[in-house]
C-alpha cells in the first residue's frame, strides 16, 4: 500500500506540492491526472524516494520512505518499477543490457540463463520481438523505447509500478497499445500501479480510481464514473478538453 500524508514540496520560490494526501491500495491502479507542470512527476518521485518531501509523510507498505537508509531504500526500490517519461534508457547499452539492470546482479551472476531468458520474457510481455534485445536505444522508435522502459521496470518482478506519462508524445494507436499494456501487466503480474498522465481517455481506461492534481493539491479523487459525474468545475473543465462537453450530472 502507498500512502502520502500532507506532502509539501517547494523548489526555491515555487510551491509544487502543498499538502497532498493520497493513497493506493494493494493491486489497485490509480491514474494521477493534471495539467503539465502541476507536480505529478514530482509526486511520483516521492514514492520511490527520488525526491524527499519538505514536510509530510510518504509510506510504502508502512515504511516511511524519507527515513529509510541507503540499503533499505535500495531494497524498497527493487520492489518498485519506475517507467520514465522518455524511457531514460542508457544509450551506450543494448536493450538487453538495459533490461538486465532491472534484475539483481546476484541473480544474473548466479544464473546467466535465467537472466537472458528473463530479458526475452519481459520483451514478450511488452509485445516486442526477442531480437530487439540486440538493438540499441537509438535504433528504436519512441513507442518501442517506452515499451523497453516498461520491460526494464518489470524485469525485477516488482510489486509496484509507477508510470510517468507513459503515453505522452505517442500517436493514438501507440498510446492505446501502452494503455492495454498497463492493464495487461496489472492483470498478469497483479502489480499495484500509479499512472501519471494528462490523457483523460487513457486514465479512464486503465485506472480503478483517478486523482486530479491542481495547484499542488488533490482536487478530486474517485472512480472514473465519479469523475464523469462530478459537478466540480475544475474536473469538468479538465475532462471536457478530452471528451467534449459532458451532459449536466
Partner 1 sequence: MDPRRIVGRYTLHALSHVGRFAAFFVEMVRTLNEWRIWVPRTFEQAQNIGYGSLFIVLLTAAFAGAVTALQASYQFQANLPVYIVGGLIVNSIVLELAPVLTALLLAGRIGARYAAELGTMRVTEQIDALESLGRSPMSHLIIPRVIAGTLMLPVLVIFADLIGIVAGYFFAHISSLQISSADFIYGARYFFRPWDLWYSMIKSLFFGLAISLVPSYVGFTTKQGAEGVGRATTAAVVSASVMILFLNALLAQWLLTNA
Binding site for partner 1 (CB under 8 A): 45, 48, 50, 70, 74-78, 80, 82, 84-86, 88-91, 101-102, 104-105, 152, 156
What is the Cα–Cα distance from 195 to 165, expressed in whole angstroms? 7
Query: Hey, how many other C-beta atoms are within 10 angstroms of the C-beta on 140?
Result: 18
Distance of closest approach, residue 232 Cβ to partner 1, in angstroms: 33
What is the Cα–Cα distance from 100 to 158, expressed in whole angstroms? 14
Complex with partner 1: residue 76 or 211, whichever CB lies closer: 76
Complex with partner 1: residue 82 or 204, whichever CB lies closer: 82
Distance of closest approach, residue 235 Cβ to partner 1, in angstroms: 30
Complex with partner 1: residue 103 or 218, whichever CB lies closer: 103
Contact between 18 and 215 under an 8 Å Cβ cutoff? The reply is yes
Distance of closest approach, residue 1 Cβ to partner 1, in angstroms: 19
Which ranges in 68-171 belong to alpha helices (H)? Answer: 70-77, 95-100, 105-110, 112-125, 142-155
Complex with partner 1: residue 95 or 200, whichever CB lies closer: 95
Distance of closest approach, residue 79 Cβ to partner 1, in angstroms: 8
What is the Cα–Cα distance from 3 to 138, expressed in whole angstroms? 37
The alpha carbon torsion through 27, 90, 47, 67 (nearest 10 deg) reads 130
- CA 214 from chain centre, in angstroms, equals 19
Complex with partner 1: residue 136 or 221, whichever CB lies closer: 136
The alpha carbon torsion through 160, 188, 107, 115 (nearest 10 deg) reads -130
- CA 223 from chain centre, in angstroms, equals 18
Distance of closest approach, residue 70 Cβ to partner 1, in angstroms: 7
Distance of closest approach, residue 82 Cβ to partner 1, in angstroms: 4
The distance in angstroms from the start CA to the end CA of the chain is 32
Complex with partner 1: residue 53 or 156, whichever CB lies closer: 156
Amino acid at each position: 500500500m502507498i500512502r502520502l500524508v500532507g506532502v509539501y514540496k517547494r523548489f526555491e520560490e515555487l510551491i509544487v506540492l502543498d499538502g497532498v494526501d493520497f493513497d493506493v491500495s494493494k493491486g489497485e491502479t490509480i491514474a494521477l491526472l493534471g495539467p503539465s507542470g502541476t507536480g505529478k512527476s514530482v509526486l511520483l518521485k516521492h514514492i520511490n524516494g527520488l525526491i524527499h518531501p519538505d514536510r509530510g509523510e510518504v509510506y510504502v507498505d508502512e515504511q516511511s520512505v524519507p527515513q529509510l537508509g541507503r540499503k533499505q531504500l535500495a531494497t524498497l526500490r527493487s520492489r518498485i518499477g519506475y517507467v520514465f517519461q522518455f524511457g531514460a534508457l542508457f544509450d551506450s547499452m543494448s536493450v538487453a543490457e538495459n533490461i538486465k539492470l532491472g534484475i539483481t546482479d546476484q541473480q544474473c551472476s548466479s544464473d546467466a540463463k535465467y537472466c537472458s531468458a528473463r530479458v526475452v520474457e519481459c520483451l514478450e510481455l511488452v509485445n516486442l520481438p526477442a531480437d530487439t534485445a540486440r538493438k540499441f536505444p537509438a535504433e528504436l522508435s519512441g513507442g518501442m523505447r517506452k515499451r523497453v522502459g516498461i520491460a526494464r521496470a518489470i524485469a525485477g518482478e516488482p510489486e509496484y509500478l509507477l508510470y510517468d506519462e507513459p503515453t505522452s508524445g505517442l500517436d493514438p494507436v501507440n498510446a492505446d497499445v501502452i494503455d492495454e499494456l498497463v492493464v495487461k501487466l496489472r492483470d498478469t503480474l497483479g502489480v499495484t500501479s500509479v499512472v501519471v498522465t494528462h490523457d483523460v481517455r487513457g486514465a479512464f481506461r486503465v485506472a480503478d480510481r483517478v486523482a486530479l492534481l491542481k495547484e499542488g493539491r488533490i482536487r478530486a479523487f474517485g472512480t472514473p464514473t465519479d469523475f464523469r459525474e462530478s459537478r466540480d468545475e475544475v474536473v469538468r473543465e479538465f475532462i471536457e478538453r478530452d471528451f467534449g462537453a459532458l451532459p449536466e450530472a
